[in-house]
Structures are given as structure tokens and as C-alpha cells.
Chain A
Amino acid sequence: MKIKTVRQLEEMGQLYAGALKKQSQKVLICAGTGCVAGGSIEIYQKIKQIVDKSGLLASVELAEEKEGIGVKRSGCHGFCEMGPLVRIEPQGYLYINVKPQDCEEVVQTTLIEGKPVERLMYSWEGKVYPTQEEILFYKKQTRLVLENCGHMDAESIQEYIAKSGYKALAGALQTMEPDEICKIVSDSNLRGRGGGGFPTGRKWSQVLAQKSKIKYVVCNGDEGDPGAFMDRSIMEGDPHRMIEGMIIAGYATGASEGYVYVRAEYPLAVERLNTAVEQAREYGLLGRDILGSGFDFDVFINQGAGAFVCGEGSALTASIEGKRGMPRVRPPRTTEAGLWGRPTVLNNVETFANVSLIIQNGSEWYKSMGPEKSPGTKAFAITGNVNNTGLIEVPMGTTLREVIFEIGGGIRDGNGFKAVQIGGPSGACLTEEHLDLPLDFDSLKKVGAMIGSGGLVVMDEETCMVEVARFFMNFTQNESCGKCVPCREGTRRMQEILERIVEGKGMVKDLDLLYDIADTVSSASLCGLGKTAGNPVVSTLKYFKDEYLAHVVDKRCPAGSCQALKIITIDQDLCKGCSKCARACPVDAVKGKVRQPYRINQDQCIKCGACIEACPFSAIKEV
């Protein structure tokens, strides 16, 4: 069924909105990667089956006249920690950790009898929170880009259209010239959500100004930062919003083909995107003469093959071209010569997902949120040693404290906060003193960090910061493309030194050497990956110098996490001299005489812990 005019789109919107209204109750089962892993698809099928059996099922797609219950696979609700999640509308109940055996009860008690199932509700410090909106995790959020994620069927273009989807596109095609769109986007101060924060409108204007007849729109869905899954959630939960943004970008810049490059690690996102593209083609929202405007645009999905560096613009386009994903020197910029050497708009998923909001509501509205120079909202993935892990969206400028302690619910297991790693391998570790820092591009840059794609990994006092630096350096040197010398050799050497330090073989002069290498790597590397590779090292060296010194001078790991630096000792008072430990030791490091307290020769000890397990008197401890 092709939609040929804007009018037809409006009519269809009304039709489906009507059908949506007829669904007196909606059950939204989270079908994001997290909840799917927890078994949510089975829950979806079961609930659907039970509802259908009782003759209450109503579907939007069929635009049925009868009233009934809608059962939907939605995108990520965000509260991944508590998955699988089931949300019931209009009550707003959020059921957590739902299991297949709970389905009957949910249908019977809530859908049919209209009562809540209290045992499936979230509780915190003794208080039960029946609705999603009351939970602190959601209360502090402003969900705009993620508005639909978790609130509609992720595989239904009809629902998207019912929720004013593609209206921004229709408006743009009908009433705006390309340069007007570029201007609105410029005026909105929308900045790229992929890391660098480059003004999106300026990028689009640059591409529009290029004379080439062939231009491309490329969507960067290669969200490789460990600890980040915002883009995945959008692709899985609201793919049409992103596609709509791409089509508008195409119209605004004179491009007629778009490519989405998705990480291979996101099979569900690829599947949902493919479905969405098929649907959009079927409805005539992709293809020739979109909505009768004479504008042609189509979108193709490319799957990555496992290379973090492909998140870098020129590496990404090289990969789409079927080559090694190695960044190339610039100039020329991607806007001048990107994909196949043509002018290319390259933005990430979240950036494109913002576009329809700006077109519909105007740049002034957009600028009213957050700081003037980085307005709007930002999605973050909050993970690590925090109580509420998951996907959140807050206005730019929200402080780290609000995010970690209010939305995130503080540190797990009552431990103390130590640091938050922001921006993935290119980012930095921030500490207590930065907790009141507003999260926006410029404030973070001032302290040597960056938003990156928006991963926030919270670390508690049991996390060793030297080990964290080593972890990131290991990641970067594995993922370095190997082209330029500073990044290839520098990250390898930094990793080697950090490895040495966590093994207790580091020296004080190693710290200076780390600084020196990081300086050259960040100044002289070819691409962004290398230029930021030193950040985790430099930031931890800066904010956790004492911890480094403890490792190299005292050969001690204050967090108690570095295995090689642990000291195993025998409590001389508790030891009965049974010799079990000495017999268990694989390297004969335990010395002593039977019935007298044993001792461990620290030079020989390999910290394997065999003696601890062997001791019947709990006399052996690791410190």
C-alpha cells in the first residue's frame, strides 16, 4: 500500500491513531536485546496467546473496529537491570523480572480484573512503586528521542504513523526548501551525538553546498564503545524515527541514497531495521517520488564485521566500500569526499533520531532544553557498579550526581563511589570532585573527558583504576587499525607498561614514560581513535596518582583487586601447624615445621590461593 500524498499520510495517521485508541489496554513487553536474553519473547507469545484465547486481542495493523487489548513487542524500556519488563497501559504498571509462569496471573489480574500484581512491581527500600512514572529511575528522565522506546510496537510502522510518525518528513517535503531545513537544524544547535559534538546543521550545509550530483547519507550505527547501547536501543525500539531523520537529511542535502552501518554484534537491530526499511518502501516512504514530492530516497543496511575503529567516519565508509576499515588522512573531509569519494552526511543514530523532533517543534523549542551551546537531551547507558543499570535520557546539563545517585540509585552493595568512566575508550575517568559537573560537550571537554556516544560505567571502591586503564589500553590496542605509528606502537607500549604495573613490576619512571607516550599518541595519531587513546591513562594518572604510586612503590593495590599484588599471610595465632597448606602449595612457598605456625615465603608465592582453600582453621588471609 503506497502512500502517495501528504494527505494520504494524514488520513492513515488518523485511521491508525483511531485503532490505537480502540486498544483499551496495551501490554508492552520489552523486546530489547537485554530482555530478549531474559526470555521476553516467550512472555510476549504467551501473553498474546492467552489474550487471544479470551477473544480480547486487538491489532492496530488490521485497524479493527472492535475494542480490545493490544499486545506488543516494544523497544527497550531502559530498566535493563530488572528485565524482562512488561508495561501495562493506560495504568502505567511496570512489572519487573517477569517469568513465563507469571503470564496467566498478569492477564487475569490486571488485564481482566484491572488490579495490579504487586509482587511483580519494583520496590526500593521497602516501598512498592506500582507505575513506571513513579520510579526514581524514570522520574528524573526526559524521554524525547526514546519517547516511543518501550511505548509502542517496535515492528509496526502503523503505530509509528499513528504517533505522528513521518509527519516531520511530510512537512519538510511539502513546505521547506533544503537550505531552510539546514538552517533550522543549524539554529537548533543540534550537535552530533556520536562523540565529537560537531554541529549537525553546519555539516549538512557543507554537503548541500557541494556541487556533486551524487551525495550520500550515512548513519553510523557502529556503536562500539564498551558500555554503550543507546543507539542499539533506538534501532531496535524505534527504527522509523531514525530512518525519517535520514530521509530528511537526504532531502536537505540533495542525497538520494542512505546507508546504515550497524555493528555485527547487534543482530536484533539489523533485523528490526531491515523490517522497518521494507515497511517504509512498501508504504512509499522510501523509494521514488516520496509523498508526491518528486524526491527519491532509499536506505540500505550494511552490517559491520567486528572492528571498533569502523565507528570512525572514514573507516566506516571504507568498510561500506568493502575494504579494510582503516581511517584515511584528511582533508578532504567526509562532507567533501566521503562514501565512494562523494559528499556525505555522516551522523550517528541518535543524531538522526533527533531530527524529526526539531523539524516538528522548531529550533527554539529544542534550544529551550539544556545549555545553549549543547541543547537537547542525551541518551546515556548507565552500567557498572550501580544499582539501576539501563538506558536513560536526560536533558543536556544534568549533573553526574543526579544521573548516578538519583536515576542510577547509587552504588551497589552499599559500596562507596570511586569513579565514573565516561565516553568509552576515548573517554576519561572522573571522580567525586566532578560529580556536580553538568553533562554537556563543553563542560566535559574542560576536564579532559568527552561524552563519546554516552556510555557511563560507574566504578566502586573495589575497582582498581590502574587495572581500568590497563583494560582500556588493551581494548584500544586490540582495536587500533595499526596504520599509524603512534597509535599502533604507542598503545601497545602503554598496555605493556600498565600490565607491568598491575603485576607489581612497575617502576616510578614508568609513570613519566606513560605520560610521554600518551602525549605523542594524542598529538600525532592519524584519527580520533588514536588521538583519544591516551585519555583513560592520562585521566587516571591525573586523578588517581596515589593509586599508581601504591602499585609501583609499595607494590600494593589499594582496591585489593590486582591479583599479583595481593599478599597472602598466615595468622600466626590461628595456625595450628597442620601442614595442609604446605602440602597444597604448588610452588613450595609455605615453610614451617609441623605443630608450629607456618609462614609463606613471599618471593616464592604465586598468589594462587590454594593454601587459603586448604586451611581448615581460616588462618590464611589475602590482604
Chain B
Amino acid sequence: MKKGTMIIDGYKIAYEGEKNILEVVRKAGIELPTFCYHSELSIYGACRMCIVEDQWGGTIASCSTPPKDGMVIYTNTPKIQKHRCMILELLLSNHHRDCTVCEKNGKCKLQDLAVRFGIKGIRFSAMPDNQELDDSSASIVRNPNKCIMCGDCIRMCEEVQGVGVLGLAYRGSKIKVTSAFNRQLAQVQCVNCGQCTAVCPTGALHVKNETKKVWDVLSNKNKRVVAQIAPALRIALGEEFGLEPGEIVTGKIVAAMRKLGFDEIYDTGIAADLTVMEETKEFTEKFKEGGTFPLFTSCCPAWVRYAEHKYPELLCNISSCRSPQQMFGAVIKEHYRNTREIDGRDTVMVSIMPCTAKKFEASRPELEVHGERDVDIVITTQELAFMIKEAGIVFNELEAESMDMPFGLASGAGLIFGVTGGVAEAVLRRCYKQKTAKTLKEIIFTGVRGMEGIKEAEIDLEGRSMRVAVVHGLNNAQKIVKLIKSGEKQYDFVEVMACPGGCIGGAGQPIPASAGTKKLRAKGIYEVDRTSQIKRSEENPMIMALYNGILQNKRHLLHVSRECHACKKE
């Protein structure tokens, strides 16, 4: 690890292993402005906002220059100030500046920096903003007129997600970020993970806002609006109201939603418990009777979509379970089937998710039951925050309330679904014969927890070894599939989450979400588990009630048939 001391604005700052000057400067407590620098992405060096001056008066980009012992730099000289302002002015001159009505208003980096650097006027003529808006996708809206070509979305899509549907096209001032042949997002192999929107510094890419639909049903007396809240919400929503990442705000969320007018508020965690039951059953049957391994999890709709595009031959290996969101929807719809005659109300299932791909998943026709969607409207954590703010609810002062029954109770196992490794851990809890506190601890230390991209664990299951892999970030999924296909690695069970960190890092969560934020959120999720009295899915009394009630003879509601390429050929 490289060590040394730099002199930044006259102060000695020691560095140790920082890859570039930018990190050292930030460590020194100076927030250098950037558009295109993200520690988890490759260095691009295009926005030039992070320039600093060296002792000879030269300008260097701090993001791409490694620190050197004794190096002297200045971060805020008149020269640097002038260049930064010019760069901002140039960017703004070519930007669709309808800030007040922009989806990213208040969350836009360009707006932020324009305020910070006091840009008061633009000396250039405005460019015509006539590029077509792309709202073809169920999850993502792309407005090319607001793009500043920082390339963050492209690198996120390719480097972290291994999807690569976005790219640069043309060059010079005609350059643009687009998909192949300028097709719309719905026409390319986008998996709707939305991570591009999470890194986009402006309103060029944002999550499709569907709050209007929710307001509409909330005000309609003929609708029974039933909500489900995903596990990852409760430790992140608070960030929108100035609370720390990881702070558990489940009770406040419920209280706020009651005020908003939701009729019934339930926990998606209970459907996660159902998933654990079904998936474990599928797995252990396979494990005993033999079949093709590994079994991939199916909770993450972006992963399922990715597999459909890239590995159609593997679809048989993906669990037949619907995702928790869809299971929950199916159960609720079944629960309220034929009640219209009784109270004259239709049931509207609204799910509040950390995820943008859930919007797409809910709209998939193959998941409909009796021609009806399981889930009618999906909004993200951020969208719920918009609604709370719009209604003027002072979130931080709310008294905690609890969820409704019978579907408002989830086990700790169901709730850790929100973090990478959670599904695997929950399944392991179910698989272990001995149901003691000791075995719970043992599972924690198998290696399923943590933020490494690819984790492995090996568990002894009745004398047979069960090999588990946990990956997050689709690029890691691509890596592990390669290893499995080449025969280099063998696994029995593989958990895949598309978003780095799992659902806590979903694109519907408050932004920006740094690695540090994600760590705190994960800690919050595990705290939820630690403080819950029921740790295992099978111990959730509501689960037993469901199997003995609605789901009696109707377990098929919880599954979906996936036709894989290999089977089709036969």
C-alpha cells in the first residue's frame, strides 16, 4: 500500500492506499466537485470538474492522478474557480433547464453545483432541446435533453451490471448516450434494474413516477387499497427526511401511509417467508431426488430478466417461485376474490419497493392470474417519500404504528431478504434440522453475510455437503454463471441479487447511496432480524394459517412456469 504525505492547500495530509488525489482531498475534508467519478466505477475523467492546480500552475484532474509523496496541490485557486465555472456554464448552456418541473429537482448534481459555484448567467445561446423523451420502459424514463455525457449510466450498466444496453454514439458535439440504433429502452435487453437512474447526476435518467396512479386510487371510494411494504424500505426511507441510513422507521412508515389513506398495510416479509417455504421445498426435493443444479433464486426480477436474455438455457435452473411481491399479490387477490358483491369495492394491490424492476415485473402478462395482475401499482421508496412530503406529513414527528393483520407479521428470515445473502441465510435457517440459537449463529458465520461481490458457503446437510453461492451485481452473476458453465465451480444453491448490496441498494431507494450508506442499511436490516421474536419462516404462525387456509390446494398460486430453451428444444 502506497503511503506518503501531500500538501493540500498548505496543509499536510497523509495518504495511505488512496488511489487518486481526489480521495486524498476528500479525506482532507474538502468536497471536490465531480460528475463522472464514482468509486465503484472505472475512472473516466471526462467532466473535468475535479481539476486542481499544482505548484507550477498546471491543472491536473485529481480523479485520475495518483498521489505522490511531497506533492503540492491547491484545490481552490482563482484559476481553478474560473475553469470550474466555465465548465458548468458550458454544460448548463446545453442543458434543458426546466429545473422547477424536473423529476430530479433538488436531487440534481448539476443544479447543486450551479448553486455552489454561483452561476448566475449563461453567456451562450440555448441549444434546441428537441430530442425525443423515451418513456417506453416500465421502470425508467430517459430524457436525452438533460444528459451531460458523464457516462456514469453506461459504466454502471456495463461494469457493475454486465448488461451494457447503453453506450455512447456519434462523436464531438453530436455525441449522445443511447442504446443500439437509438432504440427505445423497452426494445433492448434492459433488465429494468434502474441503477443507471441512481448514478445519473441529472434528470436525464429517472425512475418512472407513478404516484399519480396511487393518489387516484386512494381517493376512489370504490377501491380497497392494500399496500405491501418491502423489507428494505424500513431502514432507508428515513434518509429522505434527514435520518441516518439504517435507522428503522417501520412504525412511522405505517403511520404515514395510514394518513395517506391506504386501507390495509402489510409486510412483504410474510411473502418472503412463503418464498422460503416454497423454495426450500423445491430445493430439498431436488437435493434428495436429484436434478440439475444449482438452483438459482427467483426473487429478483432484474436477474430473472437478465437470465431470460442471456441464459435462456438456464431458466429451468431458476426456482419456479414467484417473487415475494408477486406471491403477496396473488395471496391478497385470492383473499379478496368475490368480495366485490359484499362491499362493492375492488381490491387494488399497491406495493412499495426499493426496486424499479418490480414495476416491470408486476406488468408481466405471464404472471397474471385469471387475467388479473397480482400487483396493480408499484411505487419506490422515493416515490412514497414524495407522497408523504406532498401530503405535508411531518414524518419525523409521527408516532409509530403497527401493520395490519393477518398479513402484517414477518419473521426475521423473511426480512433479511432485503440484503445480499439474506435469501440464502433464510433458506439455510429452514434447512437446518436443529432449530437452536446456536445454529442461527453458525449460519451467520458460514460466509453468506457481507458486501463482497461473490460469497461462498458450504454447509453440512444431513451428511451431505450443500454448496451455496451468493452474488450481487449482475456482472458478478455473469462471472459465476461462466464458472458454473465451464465446470470450474459447482454449487447447489445460488442467490442472485441484481443490485449491489441487494435490495437495500435498489434504484428506488434514496440517492445517492454510497458504499458506506449501503453498509449502514445492511446493519439496520440485521438489527430488524436481531430484534424480531420469530427468526425462522416456518415459525411464523401466519404462514401456517395461510397453508391451512387460502393456500390449501392452491399452492400453484405461488409458482410460475418458466420455459427454458433447453426444454423447448426437446
- Which chain A residues have a beta carbon within 8 Å of chain B's beta carbons? 307, 309, 324, 326, 328-331, 477-486, 488-493, 496, 513, 516-517, 519-520, 523-526
Q: Report chain B residues within 8 Å CB of A478.
A: 172
Residues on the B chain within 8 Å of A307, using CB: 171
Cβ contacts B87-112/A at 8 Å (1 or 0 each):
10011011000000000000000000
Residue B47 is within 8 A (CB to CB) of chain A in the complex: yes
- How would residues 147 to 173 of chain B score, 1 for a CB under 8 Å from any chain A CB and 0 otherwise? 011010000000000000000101111
B59 interfacial by beta-carbon distance below 8 Å:
yes
Q: Which residue of B lies closest to A309 (CB)?
A: B171
28 A/B residue pairs, CB under 8 Å, sorted by A: A307-B171, A329-B45, A329-B63, A330-B64, A331-B66, A477-B173, A481-B171, A482-B168, A482-B171, A482-B173, A482-B174, A484-B45, A485-B46, A485-B148, A486-B83, A486-B87, A488-B149, A488-B172, A489-B90, A489-B93, A489-B94, A493-B124, A517-B90, A519-B83, A519-B86, A520-B87, A520-B90, A523-B83
In the complex, the answer to whether B82 meets A520 with C-beta atoms within 8 Å is: yes
Give Cα A481 to B169, complex, Å: 10
A57 to chain B, nearest CB (A): 51
Chain B window 69-89, contacts with chain A (Cβ cutoff 8 Å), 1 for yes, 0 for no: 000000000010011001100
Closest Cβ of chain B to A514, distance in Å, is: 11
- CB-CB contacts of B108-129 with A at 8 A, as 1s and 0s? 0000000000000001110000
Residues of B contacting A526 in the complex (Cβ-Cβ under 8 angstroms): 45-46, 48, 61
Q: How far is the CB of A445 from chain B (nearest CB, A)?
A: 15
- Residue B504 lies at the interface, judged by CB distance under 8 Å to chain A: no
Whether the pair B46, A483 counts as a contact (CB closer than 8 A) is yes
Interface residues of A: mostly helix, strand, loop or mixed?
helix
Chain B interface residues toward A at CB < 8 A: 43-48, 51, 59, 61, 63-66, 79, 82-83, 86-87, 90-91, 93-94, 123-125, 148-149, 151, 168, 170-175
Give 7 A-B pairs besides A479-B171, A482-B172, A485-B46 with Cβ atoms closer than 8 angstroms: A307-B171, A480-B172, A484-B45, A485-B48, A489-B173, A496-B124, A524-B83
- Residues of chain A with a CB closer than 8 A to B94's CB: 489
Residue of A whose beta carbon sits closest to that of B151: A483
Query: Is A513 in contact with B172, judged by CB distance below 8 angstroms?
Result: no
Residue in B47, B86, B90 whose Cβ sees the most chain A Cβ within 10 Å? B86
A519 vs B89: C-alpha distance when bound (angstroms):
14
| Complex CA distance for A480 and B125, rounded to whole angstroms | 21
Interchain CB contact (< 8 A) of A482 among B64, B125, B170: B170
Chain A hits for B123, CB < 8 A = 513
Please measure, in the bound complex, the distance between the C-alpha atom of A525 and the C-alpha atom of B86, giving whole angstroms. 12
Question: How far is A35 from B59 in the complex, measured between Cα atoms in Å?
Answer: 46
A309, B87: Cα distance in complex, Å: 21
How long is the Cα–Cα vector from A492 to B45 in the complex, in angstroms? 20
Please state if B149 and A496 are interface contacts (CB–CB under 8 Å).
no
How many Å from the CB of B59 to the closest CB on chain A? 5
**Residue of A whose beta carbon sits closest to that of B123:** A513
Residues of B within 8 A of A482 (CB): 149, 168, 170-175
A331: chain B residues at CB < 8 Å are 64-66
A523 adjacent to B79 (CB under 8 Å): yes
Check B93–A493 contact: CB distance below 8 A: yes
Nearest neighbor of B92 in chain A, beta-carbon distance: A489
A329 B171 Cβ-Cβ under 8 A? no
Max chain A Cβ within 10 angstroms of own Cβ: one of B43, B51, B123, B168 = B123
Docked pose: A326 CA to B151 CA in angstroms: 13
Is the CB–CB distance between A492 and B173 below 8 Å? yes
Known: A329-B43, A477-B173. Is A520-B124 also a contact (CB below 8 A)? no
Query: In whole angstroms, how far apart are the Cα atoms of A525 and B373 in the complex?
Result: 52
- Complex CA distance for A496 and B87, rounded to whole angstroms: 17
